Amino acid sequence: MGCDNLFAVGDYVVREFGFMGKAFGEVPVDLVYNGIPAFRITLDEKMAAKQRLQKYAEALVGVRPDFILTHVTRLVPSKALWRDIRVLEHLDGMFQRAGEKGVLFILSTLVGPRSPEDVRRMERDYGWPVNHRVGYPDLVGYEADFHVGVDAFNARAKAIRVVYVNQFGWDRRACGDRMPEGMGFMDLRKGADVEFGQSIYEPFGIAQVEPLSFGAICVVSNVCGCVGFVNKAAGEKGSDRVIVADYTRLPQGVDLSMDGLLAIGQHVRDGIEARNSQEVAEQVFRRLPRSRAKMEEALAEGYRVASKMSWDVVAEDYFLPGLRRAEEKG
């Protein structure tokens, strides 16, 4: 049974259909991006959410951070969570010299929600989620491997702390008694100054641009399908609310033949990520708003771009035209 039309969620996916075989070249492929949330909020609303996050951070690490960084994602290798740490290694020194503090909340887990009883027991016994222990109800599988890197960073950092919350949910019931009353998941989105999402590959990648309409800086990799949509929405002038990290840019001297590329090992990869993540850190540091006026500008700019990436826009400009084309063939 053939298809009248195919929908591709990102620009790369359109090209990948062609790569799959000649048969796909005979079927029309329509680009239909995912939509993202586009809510207009006031700066006071954003600051109220940020202050709840700051209060939680202070309860956990003893310091009230100037900036809240977040990463909400599934815990799979393709999300390249270690790249967050690479960026922070550079950003930490910049913050230290400026006399600023930051906390990165990483919300990601391999399993379903831990029970409120288990969460409070871990919180009471050893200070979860700042401290962790291997074994359920705490760290399982790759969670434990990832947290080794988090611990190593926290041991040497001066101005930034990473808090790894291996839990499903973001409220007092899910995360314990040190979380402020009234905290909810949308506080993570509204209150964030930066959201990371530097994946190895994403057909689209919704989570890393979800906080865009709330003025956050969204750090995505150039191989995320959402980049094409961001570029269309931002227009010719672009947007300072989105930083596109390019970890595919190779240094001179690398053998660009297929065999050479396949032979790239971890040592070379680590060097590439260390260099390219420094550029990301420099951009993050420059673009962080440090006055109320700049925060207002960030909020307005984020909404400007996000409003052109909403589900309403996707339906009107991409999905419905594709359906009409398919219907005409029937």
The confidence score (pLDDT) of residue 2 equals 64
- 289 and 225 within one domain: yes
pLDDT, tens digit, 9 for 90 and up, residues 2-31: 677 889 999 999 888 878 777 776 778 889
- 320 and 267 within one domain: no
Report the C-alpha gap between 158 and 165 in whole angstroms. 21
Report the C-alpha gap between 17 and 27 in whole angstroms. 10
- Taking the CA atoms of 183, 240, 300 and 233 in sequence, report the sign of the dihedral they define: negative
The confidence score (pLDDT) of residue 25 equals 67
pLDDT, tens digit, 9 for 90 and up, residues 245-261: 999 988 888 888 888 88
Q: Select the more confidently predicted residue: 261 or 226.
A: 226
The confidence score (pLDDT) of residue 265 equals 87
Q: What is the mean pLDDT of residues 26-48?
A: 93
Average pLDDT value over all residues in the chain: 94
Closest by Cα among 305, 119, 155 to 217: 305
Q: Select the more confidently predicted residue: 27 or 76.
A: 76
- 327 and 281 within one domain: no
- What residue numbers bound the domain in which 316 lies? 1-35+310-330
Closest by Cα among 239, 214, 121, 114 to 165: 114
- 294 and 194 within one domain: yes
The confidence score (pLDDT) of residue 330 equals 61
Which DSSP state fits 222?
T
The confidence score (pLDDT) of residue 1 equals 43
- 229 and 174 within one domain: yes
Q: Are 237 and 230 in contact (CB under 8 A)?
A: no
Of all residues in the chain, the percent with pLDDT exceeding 90 is 82
Of all residues in the chain, the percent with pLDDT exceeding 70 is 99
- 319 and 270 within one domain: no
- 136 and 271 within one domain: yes
Which CATH number do you get for residue 116? 3.40.50.2000
The confidence score (pLDDT) of residue 77 equals 93
Which DSSP state fits 79?
G
Using a 10 angstrom Cβ sphere, with 0-12 exposed, 13-18 middle and 19 or more buried, the burial of residue 166 is buried
Using a 10 angstrom Cβ sphere, with 0-12 exposed, 13-18 middle and 19 or more buried, the burial of residue 219 is buried
Does residue 119 have a pLDDT over 50? Answer: yes
Residue with tokens 């959201």: 195
- 290 and 181 within one domain: yes
Report the C-alpha gap between 162 and 52 in whole angstroms. 17
- 129 and 244 within one domain: yes
- 315 and 225 within one domain: no
- 322 and 239 within one domain: no
- 213 and 75 within one domain: yes
Q: What is the mean pLDDT of residues 45-70?
A: 98
pLDDT, tens digit, 9 for 90 and up, residues 270-324: 899 999 999 999 999 999 999 999 999 999 999 999 999 999 999 999 999 988 8
Q: Are 220 and 244 in contact (CB under 8 A)?
A: yes
The confidence score (pLDDT) of residue 250 equals 87
Report the predicted TM-score, pTM, of the whole model to 2 decimal places: 0.94
Q: Are 326 and 318 in contact (CB under 8 A)?
A: no
Q: What is the mean pLDDT of residues 203-217?
A: 96
**3-class DSSP state of 140:** coil
Number of domains in the chain: 2
**3-class DSSP state of 71:** strand
